[in-house]
Amino acid sequence: MRVKAATIAGLTGGKIEGDPEKEISGPGGIETATEDQITFLGNLKYEHYLYSGHAGVVIIPEDLILKEQVASTLIRVKDVYAAVGILLKAFEQKNEQESRISEHAIVSSDARVGSNVSIGAFTIVEAGVSVGDGVVLGNQVYIGKNCTIGQGSNIGDGVKIYYDCELGTDCIIQANTVVGSDGFGYSRDESGQFTRVPQIGKVILGDRVELGACVTIDRATMGATVLENGVKVDNLVHIAHNVRIGADSAIAAQAGIAGSTKLGSQVLVGGQVGISGHISIASKTEIQAKSGISSVVKEEGSRLFGYPAMDYMAFVRSFTIFKKLPEMWKRLNELEQFMKK
């Protein structure tokens, strides 16, 4: 497939600077894109590649002022990432075959399977499951009894979904993720031994929820662990029993949210963040990577950093002095010495 710069400008609503007839055959990274490829400048850290690189076409921000001459044909757009999304979608390889149910899958005769559904090899769909139209279940997947998989959802290879869980429409789950495992709930007797508290709730994922690879989402003790519409979750994230995550929140890789905590909508959680159990976090809160939140966040739009987390700027100010502590210690000693004289 060869595409002209003018066609891409049309698709993305951009303005061309250079040769509108320039043809490319696919996308490439900004460091390595060749004359035959299109790339993009999303992060200005990479601006030097724009001048030194050899890409055929580069998508750039509408208002970028060029510092040097550029050999590539440019397409100026308002939102680079949105334009790239449109572009890549056009190039995305359709890796699924036409929809078909593998002869090596085991689909219960008591499951309801919609139209245009693909089910991979060695995948198991238990009784009572409802699989919506256009769903793709990968290979070696397990869908437990009475689950609902909303239409258009795509479940990656090796994903395991325990019984009774509900997924909305257009959900995407990457490989080897687990949904609906038992929560970590025990009572402890006087001798210090643990007794398991049965976990008989479920997990509900709203529409357009996306989960990365090797994510774990525990079922509720009672009731449901809920991820509302549009929540995006990166790889290796842990979400404990009875957590609720508000719509359009995003949780970066390796973050963990302990039991019964509630996040508002549009909360942004950085990588490796930990959030304690039984607290609530106001909508639009932004939590810096690796921070630890151990108490309620009441104010919408809070920006938090550190562990235990503080206001972002307060943390930065304290940390600036932390780096000078040896100096401060010395100065305090000197002052004391001086006083004693």
In the numeric block, which tokens belong to residue 293? 């939140």
> How many CB atoms sit inside 10 A of residue 88's CB?
12
Does 109 help bind its own copies (rule: CB under 8 A)?
no
Is there a catalytic annotation at residue 104? Answer: no
Does 110 help bind its own copies (rule: CB under 8 A)?
no
Q: In whole angstroms, how close is the CB of 319 to its own copies at the nearest point?
A: 7
Does 54 help bind its own copies (rule: CB under 8 A)?
no
Does 198 help bind its own copies (rule: CB under 8 A)?
yes
Of 212, 264, 269, 302, the one binding its own copies (CB under 8 A) is 212
Choice between 78 and 115, CB closer to its own copies? 78
Does 337 help bind its own copies (rule: CB under 8 A)?
no
Does 66 help bind its own copies (rule: CB under 8 A)?
no
Q: Which stretch binds its own copies (CB under 8 A): 3-11, 15-23, 107-115, 306-314?
A: 306-314
Q: Which stretch binds its own copies (CB under 8 A): 6-14, 15-23, 59-67, 82-90?
A: 82-90
- Tell me which of 48, 54, 104, 241 is the catalytic residue: 241
Of 130, 292, 303, 312, the one binding its own copies (CB under 8 A) is 292
> Would you please indicate which residues are annotated as catalytic (active-site) residues?
241
